[in-house]
Chain A
Amino acid sequence: MATLEIRDLHVSVETKEGAKPILRGVDLTIGSGETHAIMGPNGSGKSTLAYSLAGHPKYQITSGTVTLDGQDVLALTVDERARAGLFLAMQYPVEVPGVSVSNFLRTAKTAIDGEAPALRTWVKDVKTAMENLRMDAAFSERSVNEGFSGGEKKRHEILQMELLKPRFAILDETDSGLDVDALRIVSEGVNRVRENSDVGVLLITHYTRILRYIKPDFVHVFVDGKVAEEGGPELADRLENEGYDRFLTSSVA
């Protein structure tokens, strides 16, 4: 049982007008095997939280702590965080021309595990995971994310989650831009990882739609850079009916 603990996290981004605070004191505790949905209107800081946890250099942590079983995550480099068990499924995965998916996956797996995967089981694992996500075998010879459709990019992210087996996975608007079929396939992938491992999931989304496929244990509503309300799955149902208006007016007032 591992715990990812975020305490009073403040994060700014550098803009032309100077440092702009985005996160203003985030508190979250995620345990192994739990799924937390982070919901909130545009600009509330959901993606900033995701990228800050992964260590993107654009985001400056101004105060607060993030620990993984007591280890200071913020002191780690981007790749060290990944090797410690953090995984970020990105909203906009980056193209890496000339690097094939299969080479990329093998390199990442080797880096995460600290040793190259046994060839035979690895090839089988990749093949099975790709079939489960309805990905064509030819996919593995394409350059990473180059010319991928929106749905293919998201499936590729979840493919990595299945193969790299993180301790905590942050899914940053993985549902955005997906049609219903793709959403179901991607959700099934996430649920497989949840069933087969002890992964803790931080599911960031603007819409409640994905929560019909991936059932959260906890729901946190993000407004203006911090958690405004928390609850169980029933909070998502309430948001579905009421939208974010209630929170927006209260934050203005």
Chain B
Amino acid sequence: MTTTTNETGLSTDHSRAVADGAHTHGVGGVPQSSRAARRTSFDVADFPVPTGREEEWRFSPVDRLAPLFAADTDGVLSGHGVLTAVVDAPEVRVELVDRGDERLGRAGRPGDRTAATAWASYHRATVVTIPREVVASDVTVVRVEGTLPEATAGHVLVHAEQHSQGVVVIDHVGSATFAETVEVVADAGAHLTVVSVQDWSDGAVHAASHRVRVDRDATVKHIVVTLGGDVVRVTPDVEFVGEGASVQLLGLYFADSGQHQEQRLFVDHAVPNCVSRVTYKGALQGEGAHTVWVGDVLIRAAAEGTDTYELNRNLVLTDGARADSVPNLEIETGVIEGAGHASATGRFDDEQLFYLQARGIPETDARRLVVRGFFAELIHEIGVPSVEERLIASIEKELEASMSELTASTPVAVEGSEVGVTTEHA
């Protein structure tokens, strides 16, 4: 399913997504092959330089990402354009290790060209370990600062040992051309929250492969927040390796004019009785703002008792923006607790605006209320106050931009019908 702001006719009220089988998976009705069959490899040579025609690159601006493909250097990125600094909680161990450390590369395998170049190219990795049965008393922040435009690779491993508990924020600022691997390993019974914030300056190009490995009875909350940068493409892969585990994957993005923000998730239910919940919400404004959300969930035959639900909502604030939203659910066993997905892309709901304005609230304030409301619940679920506060402030700032645009031009004609597509599947 591809939704753009130009399609008309279907309700997009995101509060009332209804069951609707009238959508396809993939383009042109050609069924996509199973996600399980997708190639993964640590060898760059296994991933030809993308042309944009491949399934996993079809929404991406490959020309802008090209420096990270390293076509002329056999997949090796040799730049040093990124500085990494860590502010750690007292109970947490932080190490800088050389490649070849045996702890690295244990969570999943690269699944596309940039994930492979990132793996092939990093010199040293930052390893954050929350020791066994330790509860971290504070948030650990890994600050990744882009300083030079040369194409650079980086690697972070967050490892929560058995029955540990902690929060790690990976914060991307400055400007860089950056291919990154983030490994997240949650051992049995661990409770781990990992937040990756892409708050880049203009000009940044960032491809990140997040590979999450969740062991028995562990709980992982994985949050992707993308606000800045020119092109940001994050591919979180989750694999369950022990029963009784649960993951919550949250995402929030806000794309302005010319920004491309892409998130491709893959949740691989390979063992029984695991739970996954995916909630991604994005707002778009301005000419050429483009967001992509692809959510692949695979429930393998062995994964009985699986409970999964994924949801993507996009709020298009102005003309000229485009949101693509593609949920894919593959189910190989009928013995599950539940599986569903919902996706909706809508313009501003004019009836909401009317209702608020009819109570005396001026249009700009009414729009602000609706956008804040759109993100409110998701922000609240993050559960990391410093991140929540920063996000609320960032959204206010984004809204300032769109409101000044709104007041500068003549009042926007309120159109009668919403546009976009609503689908729900269960």
Q: How many A-B pairs fall under 8 Å by CB?
A: 89
**Smallest CB separation, B216 vs chain A (Å):** 36
The answer, yes or no, to whether B61 is at the interface (CB within 8 Å) is no
Q: Which of A125-168 contact B (CB under 8 A)?
A: 143, 146, 160, 164
Kindly list chain B residues whose C-beta atoms are within 8 Å of the C-beta of A39: none
A100: min CB distance to chain B, Å:
9
Q: Are A164 and B374 in contact (CB under 8 A)?
A: no
- Does A63 sit at the interface, judged by CB under 8 A? no
A229 part of interface (Cβ distance < 8 Å): no
Complex Cα–Cα for A111 and B15 (A) = 26
B239-273 contacts to A (CB < 8 Å): none
Given contacts A14-B416, A57-B414, A146-B15, contact A96 B355 (CB under 8 A): yes
Beta-carbon nearest neighbor of A13 in chain B: B416
8 A Cβ contacts from B386-426 to A: 414, 416
Q: How many residues of A contact B (CB 8 A)?
A: 32
Chain B count of residues within 8 A CB distance of the other chain: 30
Q: Which of chain A's residues 57-95 have a Cβ closer than 8 Å to chain B? A: 57-58, 77-79, 81-83, 87-88, 90, 93-95
How far in angstroms is the closest Cβ of chain B from A73? 13
Interface check B301, CB cutoff 8 A: no
Q: Which residues of B contact A111 (CB under 8 A)?
A: 359-362, 365
- Indicate which residue in A77, A78, A95, A98 contacts B372 across the interface (CB closer than 8 Å): A98
**Interchain CB contact (< 8 A) of A94 among B351, B362, B377:** B351
Please indicate which of the listed interface residues B355, B365, B416 has the most CB atoms of chain A within 10 Å of its own CB: B355
The A interface is mostly helix, strand or loop, or mixed, namely mixed
Complex contact A98–B359 (CB within 8 A): no
- Among A57, A81, A93: residue with most chain B CB under 10 A: A57
Closest chain B CB from A88 CB (angstroms): 6
Which residues of chain A are within 8 angstroms of B15 by Cβ–Cβ distance? 95, 97, 146
Q: List the 3 shortest-distance A-B pairs measured between CB atoms, nearest first.
A: A98-B373, A98-B376, A82-B360
Q: Assuming A57-B414, A77-B357, what are 15 further A-B pairs, CB within 8 angstroms?
A: A55-B357, A56-B354, A79-B359, A79-B361, A94-B349, A96-B356, A97-B14, A97-B373, A98-B373, A99-B369, A99-B373, A104-B356, A104-B359, A107-B361, A146-B15
